[in-house]
Amino acid sequence: MFAYIVRRVLQMIPTLFGVMLLVFVLFNVFGGDPSLVLAGKHLTAESLANIRAQLGLDKSQFAQFMIFVKQVLTLDFGTSWSTQQPVSDIIGSRIGPSLLLTGSMLVVDLLIAIPLAATVAYFRRGLTDRIVTICCTIAMSVSALVYIIAGQYWLAYKWGLFPVSGWGNSAFHNLWYYVPLPMLMGLMVSLGPDIRFYRSFFVEELSNDYVRTARAKGLSERVVMLKHVLRNALIPVVTTVMMSLPYLLIGALVLETFFSIPGMGNAVVLAVNNSDFPIIKAITVYIALATMVFNLLADLIYKLIDPRVQLK
């Protein structure tokens, strides 16, 4: 087990290096010269040269890459080009709202999708199954944008059931007041595919031989489903959930933009709009790192819940 963890951590290094290389090539090589943007209105040859020196743009590409690597290792990405705030501060303040929104969305999604998927799989091939599947498909087909625009317009603006946008100061207040509408919109988008996805896990398990044995033992369909099948189907479900955890950090980009929630996703969109590279680079690297760590955690948890797995 220990050997496995060590080997995985060692494997993360080339991947992280690859991500850094990707980010560097994208932004430093293709991204164009930011000094013009930063100089702004006070464009003189002198200020340009100053900015260049400050950002290290007067050095070779290789040297710049080493600077970037150092930034990653010391977790210091400098300051934002648009707001002049330290990048780490910005990121630090924005993780909370993102997690609050996507975290609560994940919990509610699971609470609804899993039982519904199990029920539908139980009645598979029947009328219920077909109807629910088609409803999910139709729900999936409407663009998230439409849900959000329509939802915001009718539920918040016209009928005043929820605030149109915004964010508060206390986590509790946010959870009760600001989160529900974006969460509802997010669920409209995610429930459809999730129900279908989890349903397929259940259906696949139901076609296994051990289900036949369970029935031959005289167990009722209910027990077969809730005890034997569920326990097995949970394995891919847990794996999927674990793998989606890193995405919680990035927040729901579109939701945050619409509802003016000061989260990571919002930060990314603003940064891209402003060509604020330090923020984009930092967020990309952090998220990549988090993804790798969560993947490792997912594999370890997988080992815990599936006795067949042997980590080598």
Partner 1 sequence: MSQQETLLSIRNLNVRFKQEDAEPFHALKGINLDIPKNTTVALVGESGSGKSVTSMAIMQLLPAMQTLIDPASQILFEGRNLLELEGAELRRLRGKDIAMIFQEPMSSLNPVFTVGDQIVETLMLHAKLSRSAAAKRALELLIEVGLPDPEKKIKAYPHELSGGQQQRVMIAIAIACEPKLLIADEPTTALDVTIQKQILELIAKLQARRGMSVLFITHDLGLVGEFADKVVVMRHGEIRESDDVKQIFENPQDAYTKALLACRPQLDHRPLRLPVIDDFMKPGGYVSAGERQRGYSGDDEIVLDVQGLAKSFDIRHGLFGKKQFHAVKNVSFKLARGKTLGIVGESGSGKTTVGLTLVRLHQATGGKALFEGKDLLAMSPKEFHAYKRRIQIIFQNPYASLNPRFTVEQILSEPMMLHGIGNNPAERRKMAQDLLDRVGLPARSLLKYPHEFSGGQRQRIAIARCLTMKPEVLICDESVSALDVSVQAQVLNLLQDLQDEFKLSYLFISHDLAVVKHISDQVLVMNKGEVVEQGNADAIYRQPQESYTKRLLDSIPQGWTGGAPVLA
Partner 2 sequence: MTSTVQAAPAMNSTPEVHRGFWALGWRRLKRDKIAMVSLMVVGAFLAIAIAGWFNIIGDGWRKEVAVPYAPPSWLAQSADETLPPAEEEAGARSDAPIVTMTEAEDPIGKELAIARQNMGKYASVETPLRESLPFGGDLRGRDVIVKTIKGTSTSVFVGIFGALFTLLLGTVLGAISGYFGGKVDDFLNWFYSVFTSVPDMLLLLSFAAVAGRGIKTIIIVMALTSWTGTYRLVRAEYLKLKNREFVQAASAIGASDTRRIFVHILPNISHLLLVQFSLLTVALIKYEAILSFLGFGVGVTQVSLGSMLAEAPAELVQGVWWQMVAVTIAMSLLVTAFSLLVDGLRDAFDPKANK
Q: Which stretch binds partner 1 (CB under 8 A): 36-44, 156-164, 215-223, 270-278?
A: 215-223
Least distance (Å) between residue 263 CB and partner 1: 38
Site for partner 1 in 79-138 (CB under 8 A): 125
From the CB of 206, what's the least distance to partner 1, in Å? 11
Q: Is 222 in the site for partner 1 (CB under 8 A)?
A: no
- Tokens standing for 240? 């999927």
Site for partner 1 (CB under 8 A): how many residues? 25
Indicate left, alpha or beta for 238 from its phi (over 0: left) and psi (-120 to 50: alpha): alpha
Please, where are the H alpha helices in 29-86? Answer: 35-39, 45-55, 61-74
Question: Which of 16, 57, 112, 219 touches partner 1 by CB under 8 A?
Answer: 219
Q: Which is nearer to partner 2, 78 or 265 (CB)?
A: 265
- For the four alpha carbons of 251, 252, 258 and 259, in that order, the dihedral sign comes to negative
Report the interface residues with partner 2, using CB under 8 A.
14-16, 18-19, 21-23, 26-27, 30-32, 124-125, 133-134, 137-138, 140-146, 149-150, 152-153, 157, 203-204, 207, 246-247, 250, 253-254, 257, 265, 268-269, 271-273, 275, 277, 280, 283-284, 287-289, 291-292
- Give pairs for 14-22: CB < 8 Å, separation 24+: 15/288, 15/292, 16/72, 16/285, 16/288, 16/289, 16/292, 19/284, 19/285, 19/288, 20/68, 20/69, 20/72, 20/285, 21/65
Selected from 213, 226, 273, 297, the binder of partner 1 by CB under 8 A is 213
Q: Which range binds partner 1 by CB under 8 A, 105-113, 216-224, 236-244, 247-255?
A: 216-224
Angle among Cα 98, 102, 107 to the nearest 5 degrees reads 145
Q: How far is CA 172 from CA 97, 168, 176, 303, in A?
A: 11, 9, 6, 36
Closest CB to partner 2 among residues 17, 176 = 17
Residue 3 in contact with partner 1, rule: CB under 8 A: yes
Tokens 């990571």 locate to: 264
Taking Cα atoms as reference points, which of 91, 63, 94, 61 lies closest to residue 79? Answer: 91
Cβ closest to partner 1, residue 28 vs residue 232: 232
CB of 102 to partner 2, least distance (A): 11
Nearer to partner 2, 47 or 295 (CB): 295
Scanning 42-50, 210-218, 243-251, 273-281 for contacts with partner 1 by CB under 8 A, the matching segment is: 210-218
Residue 289 C-beta: closest distance to partner 2, Å: 8
- Judged by beta carbon distances under 5 to 8 A according to partner kind, the member of partner 2, partner 1, none in contact with residue 63 is none
Note whether 280 and 27 are within 8 A (CB).
yes
For residues 101 and 168, the answer to whether their CB atoms sit within 8 Å is no
Using the contact rule CB under 8 A, the part of the chain among 108-116, 134-142, 188-196, 204-212 near partner 1 is: 204-212
